[in-house]
Structure 1
């Protein structure tokens, strides 16, 4: 039963203070994770695993403390302002899930993922799945145990997926993925049957030049270096808070567009983080809505800005100046959007085949979590499905099942959000185009402020005030839908490849 209204403000303030302390520990842990992937000496893992495990345990204990449960009970049914009600809703959701998980399991998972990072890195460099397989077995066991504590009667993969996307259910994600597969596979087949010859950028592009251009690109797009930094990592990522949102990229001296696309992608993540409310730091209103929305921001900037002809019409002079090339904007646009037959690596994939990478890993993850696939069989199943879905077969594990870092993080259930985010990116960009006069012209002229402002006003600034579906409908005027993405893909690639669609 709810308490008297006079006690509500006190319970709310106490709850917020406790949640803030838990959040600050989590953010400190995030910096330790960034350091491990970017700067930490190779031999630092044993200590780092213990450090991160201890912090994860402390963070967990703060959030599942009995007092938190009591404060939430005091606030049950209270007549709160909308923003306070949203804060309570989000903390309650986390409490209800995490209170079921023992602290020692949380610490063990954190230590295991820290231990896993160098093992994955070595296995990838040596193309040796067998080296990494015992680590995957350990993480799968831990994550199954974690899911069983939260809901022993639910599909464990659905429980894990809800950690990354709390309000779009797994059934919806599966329907979207099936729809993408059904529509994109024929489109890719049609593209491969054409005799279109899109331009390819060739040559050697030194890492120092790529870093200089990556930094300038971030500045051009509006990245705030006062609250961020650019580094390299084996697997590009972005992490941080609205006060310190960092990005990483990586370089291949024969593929300058890959590092550029990666940088723009991570910029999208970071600009979302930098756009969160500073006044609400330490509360759910100062945190991102979930990984579907987060991925929508990275994919929007990467694809709907960075892979457009309008962007290249404005940016190609700077590209040519950096590298001594003489590309036209049309050539750069074609090169940035070419659908390659040899498409082994997800982070280097074109905009269409990218989603088949997601579907492939999603299917394997589900079977692993369910116990329907043995870890030792992963390379063979991976290679068979690559051949079936993408028409290519990896020659080595490093370009196959070891290419992504996510399993070393124990991030089973993460991957569907990549495609969900791409779908949402198209929906959000269509709404922004409707609201912003001549958005393409502004992109062409390097005026990214209006798009930043639109995204901040409609997405970033709200934090977790709205559920995912409510946020989408408020921003776009319609429920979550794949229609915009599929129409965009047909139109863009149909025109590029001369298809009658």
Structure 2
């Protein structure tokens, strides 16, 4: 029915609109192809493939850039500027115009150079991390910073370059709004974490100590995805050095990673990536290749992963369901209770240095560190060679711990190898948004906790599909959240959620 309706609706669309959509579908197909090559590089490509992959990806980037910035694209947008469009079509044109104007400002040669640098930097980062050698990665980081400053200057030379880069990942919320939310999180979480560290609460934090073989963890991760409803006909599970999700509504793949001393980490990252994949797989199939078939932005995307990871995977209800499955794979934990598992999965760590292994509270201080460092790098307020010391100092200041080496410090994340400056704030924005969306879902779905405990996720998936996924990029971020929850986007639901949850856990 939806496909037929879309076809009927297209019949009376302006000719320029149809022509523009045709162009968009073609350049997005090129982007999708590049995405598969990027996935392959991180999952399956042999180590020696980097030189060829670098050229392949840079060529596809320049082809897509040329298609987006072609004179015909601008002409069609001009023709539609004063056209009488439905709200849906106006949203499509708005999204295409934003992409066109940003791309048109940037020379194709720079696009190619950024792409090539990213491919080469990825391999350099993986080797540098493995060898704990920041100096080996530093030249690539420096080149990325220079290229991204140049990129931002082409788009808008009169604005803060970091703000311009942030808009690549969150085009609908201002940098000022993002910074105010990060500040609110810091003001809420720092005293809460201090109170937790001073608490004498006796949580069952050693419930899952031991050695948990990787092969068995992988089998459990696959079973976890089946439990929450991942569609393996349109996806797959693989292992990568940094968990990620890649794809679209027809083919969306997830990766995770395993630590034989930390089975909960793999469960968390697997459920997290499921949330990303569920969003992509829930986008309208008939709108593939158009803004109505694309996710809104990374803040919204992260809200979906953090909702499933934190509000589902870290809940008591989920562990009522999941603990027997866990114990089937690891019978040495048979003595653990649901409450033991819940406490272990929600422990606030005093000494964790790794963002992707962080608990729900300290996680955001990890984000603040990265945000402040990359912002200062892009603005020219921090030298590349000073990154390790700045990183370590901020960890000591915000988290009370100091990395012993750069592999567990400033080399732990993949993002800077891609040149993705401005990405990190979306993680915290997404966590805040997840709390607001889940609170709204709880108010509308009867006995949601009981459903989760029974392994019944259909109502939650349908609620998210109806309120978030089906809209693609039709609505800008705040409007999407307001339509789903009845309120403007804010940190209120998040602060209420963590104060209640961790107040009860730690007696504070």
Q: TM-score range by the shorter chain?
A: over 0.9
Matched, 1:393 2:393: no
Give CA deviations for 1:144-163 in whole Å, capped at 9, x if unaligned.
00000000001100000000
Aligned twin of 2:477: 468
Matched, 1:142 2:161: no
Paired residues of 1:236 and 1:250 also in contact (CA < 8 A): yes
Give CA deviations for 1:65-86 in whole Å, capped at 9, x if unaligned.
1000000011012111121111
1:340 Cα offset (Å): 1.1
Aligned twin of 1:443: 452
5+ residue gaps, structure 1, are: 1-5
Distance 1:7 1:487, change over 3 A: closer
Distance 1:7 1:429, change over 3 A: closer
Aligned twin of 2:419: 410
CA distance in 2, matches of 1:101, 1:413: 18
Question: The residue matched to 2:168 in structure 1 has which SS?
Answer: helix
Matched, 1:19 2:24: yes
Matched, 1:111 2:120: no
Question: The residue matched to 2:171 in structure 1 has which SS?
Answer: coil
1:198 Cα offset (Å): 1.2
Give CA deviations for 1:8-61 in whole Å, capped at 9, x if unaligned.
711111100111110000010000000000000000000000000000000011
TM-score (normalizing by structure 1): 0.98
Distance 1:78 1:194, change over 3 A: same
Aligned match of 2:270 in 234, 244, 263?
263
Give CA deviations for 1:134-183 in whole Å, capped at 9, x if unaligned.
00000001000000000000110000000000100100000000000011
CA distance in 1, matches of 2:349, 2:185: 18
Aligned match of 2:83 in 64, 78, 84?
78
Matched, 1:178 2:183: yes
Aligned twin of 1:3: none
Question: The residue matched to 2:286 in structure 1 has which SS?
Answer: coil
1:202 Cα offset (Å): 0.7
Give CA deviations for 1:88-112 in whole Å, capped at 9, x if unaligned.
1110111111111111111110111
Aligned twin of 2:337: 328
Aligned length: 494
CA distance in 1, matches of 2:291, 2:449: 34
Question: The residue matched to 2:67 in structure 1 has which SS?
Answer: helix
Aligned twin of 1:308: 315
Give CA deviations for 1:394-448 in whole Å, capped at 9, x if unaligned.
0000000000000001000000000000000000000000110011110111101
CA distance in 2, matches of 1:365, 1:460: 31
Computed over aligned residues only, the root mean square deviation of the Cα atoms, in angstroms, reads: 1.0
CA distance in 1, matches of 2:12, 2:413: 49
Aligned match of 1:253 in 231, 241, 260?
260
Give CA deviations for 1:174-220 in whole Å, capped at 9, x if unaligned.
00000000110000000000111211211111111100110010011
CA distance in 2, matches of 1:435, 1:183: 28
Matched, 1:293 2:300: yes
Give CA deviations for 1:238-264 in whole Å, capped at 9, x if unaligned.
010110000000000010000000000
CA distance in 1, matches of 2:76, 2:108: 20
Matches within 5 A, 1:38-57: 38-57=43-62
5+ residue gaps, structure 2, are: 1-10
TM-score (normalizing by structure 2): 0.96
Paired residues of 1:173 and 1:416 also in contact (CA < 8 A): yes
CA distance in 1, matches of 2:473, 2:65: 20
1:7 Cα offset (Å): 11
Aligned match of 1:9 in 7, 14, 26?
14
Paired residues of 1:8 and 1:78 also in contact (CA < 8 A): no
Aligned twin of 2:351: 342
CA distance in 2, matches of 1:358, 1:39: 29
Aligned twin of 2:131: 126
Question: The residue matched to 1:231 in structure 2 has which SS?
Answer: strand
CA distance in 2, matches of 1:28, 1:192: 48
Matched, 1:236 2:270: no
Q: Which portions of structure 1, spanning 4 or more consecutive aligned residues, are displaced by more than 4 angstroms?
A: none
Paired residues of 1:8 and 1:75 also in contact (CA < 8 A): no
Question: The residue matched to 1:78 in structure 2 has which SS?
Answer: coil
Paired residues of 1:165 and 1:291 also in contact (CA < 8 A): yes
CA distance in 2, matches of 1:12, 1:230: 38
Aligned twin of 1:352: 361
Paired residues of 1:337 and 1:350 also in contact (CA < 8 A): yes
Distance 1:44 1:281, change over 3 A: same
Aligned twin of 2:8: none
CA distance in 2, matches of 1:435, 1:225: 29
CA distance in 1, matches of 2:459, 2:482: 20
Paired residues of 1:8 and 1:74 also in contact (CA < 8 A): no
CA distance in 2, matches of 1:467, 1:130: 41
CA distance in 2, matches of 1:197, 1:235: 32
Aligned twin of 2:5: none
CA distance in 2, matches of 1:7, 1:55: 33
Matched, 1:211 2:201: no
